[in-house]
Structure 1
Amino acid sequence: MLNESLPQIRLHRNNIHRYRRLLKTRLTEIERQYIERRLAEEQSALDSLAAAAFPVSIFASKAPIDTGAAQ
């Protein structure tokens, strides 16, 4: 799964960088809206792929950590 996801993740990441560079140039309002929409779509796709490829959950514990130190 990971080997198949990495090229897709890289593709979306590269597209995001390209769209961000384009947003720094002179654009018509229609072009800007299109690029912003595509950027949002690419970011959403990247987030979904990354979540599927790297399913990590971190739970914060409210209980104190026992370090085993003398009392």
Structure 2
Amino acid sequence: MSWDDKTLAEAAATAIILLETARDEDLGFEEKPVGLEAYTEKGAEAVRAKAARELAIRTLLHLLRKAGGREA
């Protein structure tokens, strides 16, 4: 299987975003709460972060299986 340059670049960019999300890295897309709001939203933020990490990991695993020719 051979990928052209554009497809390879898109796949690499997607993989980087998914890996950074899975590692719980802040990619700078969300505005951070300030003041008291920073403390009251921690619970909901943790649940969102956990769901985002799990989705990123599952998506990355799916894409790796697909790229390897093994659909699951």
Q: When the two structures are superposed, what TM-score results if normalisation uses the length of structure 1?
A: 0.43
Q: When the two structures are superposed, what TM-score results if normalisation uses the length of structure 2?
A: 0.43
Please identify the structure whose Cα radius of gyration is greater. 1
